Each structure stands twice: as structure tokens, then as C-alpha cells.
């Protein structure tokens, strides 16, 4: 991987506004308008049990992952994106691993997510970390775009 540093976005950080602004720009570039959280990103981050990690390279946000732990048993990854110029350098892997580790500290038993089957690099990344396809959800993103619901279960300790 490049020299990226994984950081947790903290509301009281002096970097909050700058980082959120950069993540919103990434969000707009990576996701279609109807899937983007660009307009409600800060609001999403204020929800209970929501976390955001980002990869930083020399002051530049390379990518981010948003996750939540809404219950004591289950967590979800709602967004994972890496800027195009930083792709295929391990940043997505580092972000996903860090999010999984954060969720594990909450002692959840399962992490779930949805991903467009046509996003082959994303599906491959999730499978590399042990996520399994649960089902194909027809019309998840729009009437003509489906999603895999994927999950990663942890052994009960």
C-alpha cells in the first residue's frame, strides 16, 4: 500500500469541515446521484453508532469507509470509496480491514453490506475478506440495478 494513514473522523477535530468536504467530493464522483449521501453526509455522521474512517496521504483524503453498529449483534458498512488515482494501491483493503476491526471491538457477530454486482473490484475485495453473498436484492439501487447483500460472520468467542 502507499503511505496512507487511516484516521477516524472526530467531530471535535479541527479537520472536520475540510475532511467532510473532501469526502463529499469523492462521494459525488464515485456514486450515482441517487446513491450519493453528498447532500446528507454530515447528518449521516451524527447518527448514533455511526463511524467514519478515512485514508490520508500527505494531507489528501484518498478514500473513506462509513460503518454503523446499530445493534449489539450486527454492524453494517454503508459506504466505501477510494479516489480513482489511489485505487489498486491497497487503500480500500486498509479501510475495510480498519472498519472490520472497529466493528469487532463492539463484539458484533455479523457485518453486512450491499454492493452492485457489476462493481467487480468491490465484490472481489469483500470476498477477499471473507464476505459471502447472501442474496441478490432486485431493484435495490433502482429499478434496473440490483445489489448483492453480503455478510461476514464472526465465530462466537
Q: How confident is the model at residue 135 (pLDDT cuts 50, 70, 90)?
A: very high
pLDDT at 156 over 70: no
DSSP per-residue codes, 11-66: TTSTTHHHHHHHHHHHHHHHS-GGG--GGGHHHHHTSTTEEEEEEEETTEEEEEEE
Per-residue model confidence as pLDDT tens digits over 18-39: 888 899 899 889 888 777 776 7
Q: What is the dihedral of CA 69, 72, 73, 75, to 10 degrees?
A: 0
> Percent of the chain beyond pLDDT 70?
96
Strands 145-153 and 110-115: antiparallel
User: What is the pLDDT at residue 12?
Assistant: 74
Taking 50 as the threshold, does the pLDDT of residue 1 lie above it? no
CA-closest candidate to residue 97, choices 4, 36, 2, 6: 6
Judged against a pLDDT cut of 80, whether residue 155 lies above it is answered with no
Burial pattern 113-150, b for ≥16 Cβ within 10 A else e, equals bbbbeeeeebbebbeeeebeeeeeeeeeeeeeebbbeb
| pLDDT value of residue 42 | 75
Reply yes or no on whether the pLDDT at 3 is more than 70.
no
Q: Among candidates 157, 150, 114, which has minimal Cα distance to 129?
A: 150
Strand partners of residue 117:
none
> pLDDT digits over 53-77, tens only?
999 998 899 999 999 988 778 999 9
Q: What is the pLDDT of residues 91-122, one digit of tens each?
A: 999 999 999 999 988 888 999 999 999 999 99
Pick the CATH number of 5-153 from 3.40.50.2300, 3.20.20.70, 3.40.630.30, 3.40.640.10: 3.40.630.30
By the 8 A CB rule, do 61 and 23 touch?
A: yes
Residue 128 has pLDDT above 70, yes or no: yes
- What ranges do the domains of the chain cover? 5-153
Question: Taking phi first (over 0 means left), then psi (-120 to 50 degrees means alpha), and beta for anything else, what does residue 155 get?
Answer: beta
Amino acid at each position: 500500500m502507499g503511505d496512507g494513514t487511516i484516521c477516524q473522523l472526530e467531530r471535535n477535530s479541527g479537520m472536520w469541515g475540510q475532511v467532510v468536504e473532501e469526502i463529499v467530493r469523492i462521494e459525488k464522483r464515485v456514486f450515482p446521484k441517487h446513491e450519493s449521501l453528498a447532500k446528507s453526509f454530515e447528518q449521516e455522521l451524527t447518527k448514533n453508532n455511526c463511524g467514519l474512517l478515512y485514508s490520508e496521504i500527505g494531507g489528501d483524503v484518498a478514500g473513506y469507509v462509513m460503518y454503523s453498529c446499530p445493534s449489539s449483534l450486527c454492524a453494517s458498512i454503508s459506504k466505501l470509496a477510494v479516489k480513482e488515482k489511489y485505487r489498486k494501491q491497497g487503500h480500500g483493503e486498509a479501510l475495510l480491514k480498519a472498519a472490520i476491526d472497529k466493528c469487532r471491538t463492539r463484539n458484533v457477530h455479523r457485518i453486512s453490506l450491499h454492493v452492485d454486482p457489476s462493481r467487480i473490484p468491490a465484490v472481489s475485495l469483500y470476498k477477499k475478506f471473507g464476505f459471502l453473498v447472501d442474496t441478490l436484492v432486485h431493484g435495490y439501487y433502482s429499478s434496473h440495478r440490483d445489489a448483492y447483500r453480503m455478510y461476514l460472520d464472526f465465530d462466537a468467542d
